[in-house]
């Protein structure tokens, strides 16, 4: 490195530092020369880099160089060539020693900063010149603010839009997509296209007029349209027989108002399509409605074009609104983001007085060394150019390597670097690679040489200059078996094979090949036949470089399957980790302990570790499943009453999470992440389950959270799985690159950034020139992928492995460009040729590359099979056996329920009764066009049943009748929105609630509106200690007494699959209330029995009660309440205190019609006999909680 003494120490210069060529050493050498030759102090030499880790490393390396230099000038020998020659050129060694000693004494004041730290310091120190407030706070994460601005923009933009446009917008644009779009914003970016997008009232009115005409005509022509669809003359390839019923159903649903947007099949009944859809010789029907549909469909197409322009306008408008709103919010909150630091300093340097500010900074730092300058952007370059670049008596060095510019996604702009390179006074290149073995250096030179192909890095201004190896001794890799070349290309596929593998197959082949070779190397190492220098090759010497975190997890899992522990050093934030996603599922289950679907999803996570078999068979062991339900209910109560952390600790202990996770190959990492997540959530705990789960969701979406995964001491000993971006600046003895064959990730219909012909930064959000712009963007993407490939290959010190073959999309990859590109071939030709290659053609073109490498590159067949790596120590493991357990477990002890009692009569069994398994599947009558919806039209099933139960559970019956109509509807609307139902149901649901609460209850002369909150108990839970009994015993009891349901009910009982059980019966009573010293039971039923009030008359209700086994259910509820009251009322008497049971079928309640409410009051003797039969006497009356 003697040429380090030839570099100038004034002016504006650029150093191209290829990978491994001693860039950091060059910076340390320049610092020493500036101290000794220019007599600058350490405080006057500015060193700027781009990450805190890089700044910390530079600080260590510069200090070490100063210590070594001081030793040299103190006469203790100069072991390095640069220092030896510098020692010769400096005449006054004593003065040099004093200068170096002063620099070391003052080293804590050395200005070695990140770019953001430098800008922040300059703004603070020059507050008046830069017009920067002194009390602003640096915000490390502005994503929450951006999200709030996006949500505000969304609401303001849509507040006056027509409902049809809002429905069109669904699936096309939402706040989440706008946030992703805003993340692409850059200072000075140009949007394509620039549109205004105003509402076109004429188009909308024309469409609505035609639609109303078609809707009015449809009832009279629906039969005619069905006949046309059934015509034998229709071409079956144009009108497939299996599609016609669905098309007709969708068209019918649209004209009846069930679909909000016209279905695509609407055009199928247009006159033009029908004329083309009939067979030759068959004359299509000339129906006037078909012509109306043609006009309607054309009006819809015109309106959609207008809507599409409005969507573009929403996207364009976001940027102007967000720039102003974010700036205003930051000003109000006195915040600055990291990018604001650069923008503020740049603005201060460009405005009036900027020259004075530049002079002040230049006087403070006469010399500036800017590291990693390939990752610059126009603003960063302009800052240093204005400070130092225009002053010949000062020094500015830009140090970087355009071949390693891989941070475009962070805003880095390679074209800014190229523009800077054209303005420098001189340009130097570092030509010696000190990192890698000589053979590997030669192999990389051969791969990136453009002598026989197109420009290696696509962009002509980025040239590849071969580097050499100075012959510095390195620890040699010795592998006593197999191919010895330092760069090995594992080639997949046979010579005669054509076509490409699918994406999953491609990844599987690549991962399997890497795992096979890794296993082979580590197996040889254990036998002493694979070494680095004098020591055994270890897993920590190997790195697998990947493009994404998902690929990293796939590789880690595959390695684990062969017994190799790998640690993922990805860029994941803690709140975006796999454990965070699974913890969210678990918390959702805890927050809703009655949701079996959420509980199953939680148990199926890796954290809780349930496999598919026990989850599938959970209904076979009801007691065990009930215990799981009870545990999660306890977790819920802990969270509700005591906060997150007590619940979290109880869950870890109760589900044995620690023990389970530590059995997994990466259990230590998983458990560390989980515990770390618990601490982070505890810091957010505001006793609100919704808040914590929302915080986790936003973290998974990348909207906040700066916590990174904690590093473990054991990580360094494991095989390293690293993203290429994170590997930059690092080195490993062995490197595997299994995924460099990946193609373009850009897709149509997605916004993308590109540079136009004038190299201006542009964002295409759907312009007319999108095809041309997309090709330009894909060419830039290829250029970056080539730079990523260069970074990946140059991380290796001793050996590197690449994967190549007929992989999915590989024709678009960097390796296709390097391995098969031709200087005289267009890009489209290369894509087509590589995609159509046979295995033999691929191999022959690679053999030419191997020949040029002079033995430093080898083609090796892609391994097909991989076995597990034997564990260290004894490979023959002792055969283990289990010790038999002679004890017999009594499985008749259970916690049962009414649902399990009647499980044999239904398809499914549920603990909580929400009209799920009891309700028959009923096809509702079609809703007439133009008719207002009623409660009969309200959706059916478990979800709507849960919603209606929720309303009655939280409704104050007395207050409901006394407040205003608007207030009532507002209360209903809020809950409809919370449960995801349209506001159109506000009126029907409100009317239903009014009918139920105002209706005089049968056999009594009061209504629910007469009840106070303090006289009712919602969701009363009970446990009854069961006595052994049989179904036949139940039949005998009911046969001795009168009961509702008659013989049909008795026949149902005879078919009851009721086994002898011991334990408890658990249940919930929807409502128990007290009126005039009598207690009543109410069970809310949302069952759909028909579309008329007559369908809910007493006879129909009794039939439904029998069919759904509700009669048995309310008798059990009566026994439970009977025991509850006997335990709590000193003078309890059944005849005096028990009022009866109401089953309220809420859809059909009408007092005048006498419909919708079933009433019964079981005889006291029947209740006593059931109590004696079913309930153990020992515990005594009660048992309810």
Q: Which residues are catalytic?
A: 1083
Of all helices (H) and strands (E), which one includes residue 142? none
Locate 694 and state its tokens: 């929302």
Contacts 24+ apart (CB under 8 A), 1048-1054: 1048/1103, 1048/1106, 1049/1106, 1049/1111, 1049/1112, 1052/905, 1052/1106, 1052/1109, 1052/1112, 1053/1112
- End-to-end CA distance of the chain: give it in Å, rounded: 84
Length of the chain: 1185
Measured from the Cβ of residue 53, the count of other Cβ atoms closer than 10 Å reads 11
Alpha-carbon torsion (1077, 1083, 1088, 1089), positive or negative: negative
Distance CA 894, CA 1001 (A): 38
Q: CB–CB of 618/603 below 8 Å?
A: no
Distance CA 486, CA 482 (A): 12
Q: For the purposes of burial, counting CB atoms within 10 Å of the CB of 1023, is it exposed (0-12), middle (13-18) or buried (19 or more)?
A: middle
> How do strand 761-764 and strand 752-755 relate by DSSP bridges?
antiparallel
Distance CA 984, CA 973 (A): 9
Query: Among 969, 973, 907, which residue's Cα sits nearest to residue 942?
Result: 907
φ/ψ of residue 287, rounded to 5: -90, 130
Q: Spell out the SS3 assignment of 231-292.
A: CCCECCCCCCCCCHHHHHHHHHHHHHCCCCCCCHHHHHHCHHHHHHHECCCCCCCCCHHHHH
Distance CA 68, CA 675 (A): 45
Query: Among 839, 836, 805, 840, which residue's Cα sits nearest to residue 489?
Result: 805
Query: Among 347, 314, 321, which residue's Cα sits nearest to residue 132?
Result: 347
Locate 166 and state its tokens: 């809002």
Beta bridge partners of 1143: 1083, 1158
- Count Cα neighbours of 1155 within 13 Å in the Cβ-side half-sphere: 19
810 Cβ neighbours under 8 A, 6+ residues apart: 500, 506, 741, 742, 743, 804, 816, 834
Locate 67 and state its tokens: 């210590």
């Amino acid at each position: 490195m003697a040429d380090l003494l030839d570099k100038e120490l004034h002016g504006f210069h650029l150093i191209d530092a290829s990978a491994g060529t001693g860039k950091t050493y060059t910076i340390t050498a320049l610092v020493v020369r500036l101290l000794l030759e220019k007599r600058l102090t350490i405080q006057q030499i500015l060193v700027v880099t781009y990450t805190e880790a890089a700044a910390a490393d530079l600080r260590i390396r510069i200090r070490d160089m100063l210590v070594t230099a001081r030793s040299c000038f103190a006469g203790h020998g100069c072991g390095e060539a640069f220092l030896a020659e510098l020692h010769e050129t400096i005449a006054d060694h004593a003065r040099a020693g004093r200068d170096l000693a002063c620099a070391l004494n003052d080293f804590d004041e050395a200005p070695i900063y990140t770019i953001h730290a430098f800008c922040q310091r300059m703004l603070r120190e020059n507050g008046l010149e830069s017009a920067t407030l002194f009390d602003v706070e640096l915000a490390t994460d502005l994503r929450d603010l951006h999200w709030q601005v996006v949500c505000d923009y969304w609401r303001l933009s849509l507040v006056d839009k027509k409902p049809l446009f809002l429905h069109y917008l669904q699936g096309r644009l939402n706040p989440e997509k706008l946030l992703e779009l805003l993340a692409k914003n850059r200072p000075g970016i140009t949007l394509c296209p620039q549109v205004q997008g105003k509402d076109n009232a004429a188009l909308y009115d024309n469409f609505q007029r035609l639609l109303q005409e078609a809707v009015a005509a449809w009832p009279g022509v629906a039969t005619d349209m069905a006949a046309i669809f059934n015509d034998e003359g229709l071409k079956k390839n144009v009108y497939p027989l299996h599609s016609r019923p669905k098309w007709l159903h969708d068209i019918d649903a649209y004209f009846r108002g069930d679909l909000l947007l016209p279905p695509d099949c609407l055009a199928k009944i247009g006159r033009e399509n029908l004329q083309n859809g009939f067979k030759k010789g068959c004359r299509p029907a000339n129906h006037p409605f078909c012509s109306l549909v043609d006009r309607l469909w054309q009006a819809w197409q015109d309106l959609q074009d207008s809507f599409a322009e409005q969507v573009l306008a929403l996207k364009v408008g976001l940027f102007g609104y967000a720039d102003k709103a974010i700036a205003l919010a930051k000003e109000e909150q006195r915040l600055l983001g990291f990018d604001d630091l650069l923008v503020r300093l740049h603005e201060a340097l460009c405005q009036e007085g900027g020259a004075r500010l530049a002079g002040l900074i230049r006087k403070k730092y006469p010399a500036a060394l800017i590291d990693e300058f390939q990752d610059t952007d126009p603003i960063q370059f302009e800052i240093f150019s204005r400070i130092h670049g225009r002053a010949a008596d000062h020094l500015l060095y830009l140090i970087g390597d355009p071949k390693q510019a891989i941070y475009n996604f962070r805003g880095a702009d390679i074209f800014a670097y190229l523009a800077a390179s054209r303005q420098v006074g001189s340009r130097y290149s570092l030509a010696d690679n000190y990192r890698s073995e000589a053979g590997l250096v030669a192999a990389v030179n051969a791969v990136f040489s453009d002598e026989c192909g197109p420009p290696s890095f696509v962009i002509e201004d980025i040239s590849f200059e071969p580097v050499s190896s100075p012959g510095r001794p390195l620890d040699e890799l010795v592998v006593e078996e197999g191919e010895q070349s330092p760069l090995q290309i594992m080639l997949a596929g046979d010579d005669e094979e054509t076509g490409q593998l699918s994406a999953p197959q491609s990844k599987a082949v690549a991962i399997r090949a890497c795992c096979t070779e890794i296993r082979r190397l580590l197996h040889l190492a254990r036998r002493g036949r694979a070494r680095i220098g004098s020591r055994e090759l270890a897993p920590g010497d190997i790195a697998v470089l990947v493009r994404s975190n998902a690929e990293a997890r796939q590789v880690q899992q595959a390695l684990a399957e062969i017994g190799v522990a790998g640690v993922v050093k990805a860029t994941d934030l803690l709140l975006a980790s796999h454990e965070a996603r699974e913890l969210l599922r678990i918390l959702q289950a805890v927050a809703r302990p009655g949701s079996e679907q959420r509980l199953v999803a939680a148990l199926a996570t890796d954290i809780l570790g349930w496999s598919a078999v026990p989850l599938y068979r959970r209904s076979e062991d009801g007691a065990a499943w009930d215990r799981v339900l009870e545990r999660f209910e306890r977790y819920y109560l802990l969270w509700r009453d005591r906060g997150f952390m007590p619940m979290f600790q109880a869950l870890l202990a109760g589900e044995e999470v620690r023990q389970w996770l530590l059995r997994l190959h990466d259990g230590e990492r998983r458990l560390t992440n989980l515990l770390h997540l618990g601490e982070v959530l505890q810091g957010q705990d505001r006793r609100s389950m919704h808040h914590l789960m929302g915080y986790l969701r936003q973290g998974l979406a990348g909207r906040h959270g700066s916590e990174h995964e904690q590093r473990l001491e054991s990580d360094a000993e494991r095989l390293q799985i690293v993203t290429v971006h994170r590997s930059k600046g690092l080195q490993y003895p062995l490197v595997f690159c299994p995924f460099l064959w990946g193609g373009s990730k850009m897709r149509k219909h997605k916004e993308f950034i590109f540079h136009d012909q004038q190299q201006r930064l542009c964002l295409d959000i759907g312009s007319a020139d999108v095809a041309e712009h997309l090709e330009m963007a894909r060419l830039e993407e290829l250029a970056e992928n080539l730079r990523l490939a260069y970074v990946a290959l140059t991380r290796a010190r001793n050996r590197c492995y690449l994967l190549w073959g007929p992989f999915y999309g590989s024709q678009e990859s960097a390796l296709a460009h390097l391995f098969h590109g031709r200087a005289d071939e267009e890009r489209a030709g290369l894509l087509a040729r590589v995609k159509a290659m046979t295995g033999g053609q691929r191999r022959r073109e690679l053999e030419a590359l191997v020949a040029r490498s002079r033995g430093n590159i080898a083609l090796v067949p892609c391994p097909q099979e991989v076995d597990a790596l034997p564990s260290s120590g004894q490979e023959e493991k002792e055969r283990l056996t289990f010790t038999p357990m002679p004890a017999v477990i009594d499985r008749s002890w259970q916690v049962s329920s009414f649902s399990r009692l009647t499980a044999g009569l239904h398809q499914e069994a549920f603990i909580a009764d929400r009209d799920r398994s009891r309700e028959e599947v009923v096809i509702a009558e079609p809703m007439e066009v133009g008719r207002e919806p009623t409660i009969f039209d309200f959706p059916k099933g478990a979800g709507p049943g849960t919603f209606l139960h929720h309303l009655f559970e939280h409704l104050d019956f007395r207050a409901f009748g006394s407040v205003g109509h608007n207030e009532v509807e507002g209360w209903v609307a809020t809950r409809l929105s919370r449960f995801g139902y349209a506001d159109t149901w506000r009126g029907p649901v409100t009317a239903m609630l009014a009918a139920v609460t105002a209706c005089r209850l049968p056999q009594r002369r009061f209504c629910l509106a007469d009840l106070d909150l303090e006289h009712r108990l919602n969701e009363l839970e009970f446990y009854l200690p069961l006595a052994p009994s049989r179904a036949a015993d139940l039949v005998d009891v009911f046969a001795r007494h009168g009961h509702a349901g008659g013989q049909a009910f008795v026949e149902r009982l005879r078919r009851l699959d009721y086994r002898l059980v011991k334990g408890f019966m658990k249940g919930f009573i929807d409502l128990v209330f007290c009126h005039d010293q009598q207690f009543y039971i109410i069970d809310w039923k949302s069952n759909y029995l028909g579309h008329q009030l007559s369908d809910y008359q007493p006879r129909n209700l009794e039939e439904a009660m029998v069919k759904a086994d509700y009669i048995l259910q309310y008798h059990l509820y009566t026994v439970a309440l009977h025991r509850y009251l006997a335990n709590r009322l000193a003078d309890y008497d059944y005849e005096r205190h028990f009022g009866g049971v109401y089953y309220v079928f809420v859809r059909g309640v009408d007092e005048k019609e006498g419909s919708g409410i079933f009433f019964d009051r079981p005889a006291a003797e029947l209740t006593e006999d059931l109590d004696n039969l079913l309930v153990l006497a020992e515990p005594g009356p009660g048992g309810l909680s």
